[in-house]
Amino acid sequence: MKLSKKKPIIGLDIGTHTIKMAEVVSTKSGYRLTGIGMARIPPDALVEGQIQNPEVLVRTIKSLFHNLKFKVRNIATSISGYSVVVKKINVPRMTEDALAENIRFEAEQYIPFDINEVNIDFQILEQPKEESMADAAFDRMEVILVAAKNDIINEYVELIDKAKLTPSVVDVDAFALENVYDTNYDYDEEAAVALVDIGASQININIVQGGLSIFTRDAPTGGNQITLEVAREFGIDYEEAEQMKLGYNLDKNKLIALEDIFIAAATAWSREIKQALDFVSGSLRGGKISRLVLSGGSSLIPGFAQYMARESGIPVEHIDPFAKLSFDSRKIDAEYLKAIAPQAAIVIGLALRRVGDK
Ligand SMILES: Nc1ncnc2c1ncn2[C@@H]1O[C@H](COP(=O)(O)OP(=O)(O)OP(=O)(O)O)[C@@H](O)[C@H]1O
Ligand SMILES: [Mg+2]
């Protein structure tokens, strides 16, 4: 485990259903969780990554920060969805510095937005050995391109400013997920692993191998789909539907109808996920994806993990974002951590960043 001496940071995951905040500090004996909390927000405050009601978000962030008694004000947050593009691209072989100069030119054709309105980052992938490559291919190299619209980054930065905090890192959900996975699970150079976060309004798929993302995709669906369907089916409001979905106030008939809704969602989600797995498996060095690691609140719908395992033929497990984190059990309840573990994956990935990280 690599420990960073850089300045600490508070992770802030602004989900469409729940805002999460956590602090992880580096100590001599490893990472230590010093605080974590989450708070619900109304379903229309943040829609498809677009901030609709900044006041509610600012208020929620402020009260979480206050309640958790954090001292550090530096924040690492993340964005995802339509305004972020993560792509593996192929460019002429050049040094990192040269690519930094040329990346806008190289990236332009891959980005569905005006190149002048995006923030760009990249990582050069380790190239296969020379002798195994055709001469023509040797002139080129693979690069992971990350582009995010400036206006969306600015919106998040402004939000954090308004909460009287300091925006230090703006990450991408998929990379935060990869970070929490890398920290908590033993490293296997060869195995490809699918990290899948199912939240309220999006499914985030990130396939990693050798410590790098080789594929990411966001699909605009999630637990909200179930809540809305439950509300429609039973003629109740969103809040009641949310309660019912979590198993409150159920009689036998309702349970059967609810199960049908779960099954419909699970089928659609697993199809979406499997499509991504199949797409990547085709081009995978070393063959197949060795496991699927689920996170996000909606990955908890009853039977989903088992269903996904059957459909994909790959072992499926829920992530434990706290596996290698110590904490003071007088201050943080172990049962609470267990209950929120899947929802906490991204915020812990963010809390593990340090000021100065990209
Ligand atoms: N035990 C559970 N069973 C089924 N669904 C659950 C359970 N716990 C939470 N959920 C659902 O998970 C969703 C919230 O999960 P999460 O906090 O990961 O979403 P989010 O990060 O706010 O959303 P997004 O990432 O899509 O913006 C809600 O739709 C909630 O109803
Ligand atoms: Mg989320």
Nearest ligand, CA of residue 20? 1
Ligand 1 atom with the shortest distance to the CA of 173: 25
For the segment 248-276, the average pLDDT, to the nearest whole number, is 93
pLDDT digits (tens, 9 = 90+) for 82-98: 889 888 899 999 999 99
pLDDT of 130 over the 60 cut:
no
pLDDT of 49 reads 79
Phi-psi region of 83 (alpha: psi -120 to 50; beta: other; left: phi over 0): alpha
Residues shown for the chain: 358
pLDDT of 205 reads 95
Pairwise pLDDT comparison (331 vs 50), residue with the higher score: 331
Place 287 in a pLDDT band, splitting at 50, 70 and 90. low
Place 136 in a pLDDT band, splitting at 50, 70 and 90. low
Contacts with 221 (C-beta within 8 Å, 6 or more apart), sequence order: 201, 202, 203, 268, 269, 272
pLDDT of 355 reads 84
pLDDT of 1 over the 50 cut:
no
Instruction: Centre a 10 Å sphere on the Cβ of residue 189 and count the other Cβ atoms it contains.
Output: 8
For residue 92, give the nearest of 130, 143, 147, 144 by alpha carbon: 143
Instruction: Centre a 10 Å sphere on the Cβ of residue 183 and count the other Cβ atoms it contains.
Output: 19
Instruction: List all residues whose CB is within 6 A of at least one atom of ligand 1.
Output: 15-18, 199-202, 222-224, 227, 242, 245-246, 296-298, 300-301, 343
pLDDT of 190 reads 80
Place 340 in a pLDDT band, splitting at 50, 70 and 90. very high
For the segment 119-131, the average pLDDT, to the nearest whole number, is 76
Report residue 82 as tokens: 């339509």
DSSP state of 301: S
Report residue 97 as tokens: 């510095």
Report residue 100 as tokens: 């930094």
Report residue 263 as tokens: 């099954």
The answer to whether the beta carbons of residues 23 and 34 sit under 8 Å apart is yes
pLDDT of 292 reads 97
pLDDT digits (tens, 9 = 90+) for 4-47: 456 789 999 999 999 999 999 999 999 999 999 999 999 999 98
Burial code of 131-164, b = ≥16 C-beta within 10 A, e = fewer?
Answer: eeeeeeeeeebebbbbbbbeebbebbeebbeebe
Q: What is the mean pLDDT of the chain?
A: 91
Contacts with 231 (C-beta within 8 Å, 6 or more apart), sequence order: 237, 238, 240, 241
pLDDT of 2 reads 43
Q: Which domains does the chain have, with CATH numbers?
A: 187-319 (3.30.420.40)
Alpha carbon nearest to ligand 1 atom 9, residue? 297
pLDDT of 127 reads 64
| CA distance linking residue 13 with residue 1, whole number of Å | 23
Place 261 in a pLDDT band, splitting at 50, 70 and 90. very high
Task: Give the DSSP per-residue string, 235-253.
Answer: T--HHHHHHHHTT-S--HH
Q: 237: exposed, middle or buried (C-beta count within 10 Å: 0-12, 13-18, 19+)?
A: exposed
Report residue 326 as tokens: 């110590």
Nearest ligand, CA of residue 60? 1
Contacts with 271 (C-beta within 8 Å, 6 or more apart), sequence order: none
Instruction: Centre a 10 Å sphere on the Cβ of residue 20 and count the other Cβ atoms it contains.
Output: 23
pLDDT of 57 over the 80 cut:
yes
pLDDT of 105 over the 90 cut:
yes
Predicted TM-score of the model (pTM): 0.93
Question: How far is ligand 2, taken at its centre, from the CA of residue 37, in Å?
Answer: 14
pLDDT of 135 over the 60 cut:
no
Question: How far is ligand 2, taken at its centre, from the CA of residue 73, in Å?
Answer: 22
Question: How far is ligand 2, taken at its centre, from the CA of residue 281, in Å?
Answer: 25
Place 3 in a pLDDT band, splitting at 50, 70 and 90. very low
| CA distance linking residue 54 with residue 162, whole number of Å | 9
